Structure formats: C-alpha cells, structure tokens
Amino acid sequence: MGDDEIQEHYYSNYGVTFPLFAKIEVNGKGAHPLYRFLTKEKKGLLGGRIKWNYTKFLVDKEGRVVKRYSPTTPPPQIEKDIRDLL
C-alpha cells in the first residue's frame, strides 16, 4: 500500500482526522533516523528492533525517551505515565 492508500484507509475506516506520517522503514539499515534514535534509547524484547508498527515510545519535553511500550499496550494504560510527565 502506498502513502495515499494508507491515509485513505485510516481516514475512511477509523475516523482519523489528524495528519499521518508517510510510510517509512523502522528497522535495519534503511530505518528512519527517528526510529534509530528511539530504539537505541529504549531497547525492547527484540533488542533495538520494532516488532510491530504499534510499538509506542514516551518522550519527555527535553527529547529523552522515557519508556517503550509493546504494540499490544492500549493507550489508556499509558495515560498515567503521560500525566506524570506533564
């Protein structure tokens, strides 16, 4: 799927109203610099690799990676950690 198809899928099927990132690589030599940074700062069960695209990272206002969450962690479970940083 290309970027336009991905965006249309989420806009029409899930009611997404915010801009989406373009499709990028998150693992390997072609990984986007953002994901190279995030995975270097917080390793997961697979080391620095992203298992699935719903892996989440909590970053503080200074740009430090505070915590990494599994793809299956529902956003409500992250709320307390976010509030603690505010």
Phi-psi region of 25 (alpha: psi -120 to 50; beta: other; left: phi over 0): beta
CB atoms within 10 A of CB 11: 13
Q: Which CATH architecture has domain 3-85?
A: 3-Layer(aba) Sandwich (3.40)
Residue pLDDT, tens place only, 25-55: 999 999 999 999 999 999 877 777 888 778 9
pLDDT, mean of residues 5-10 = 85
Structural domain spans, the chain: 3-85
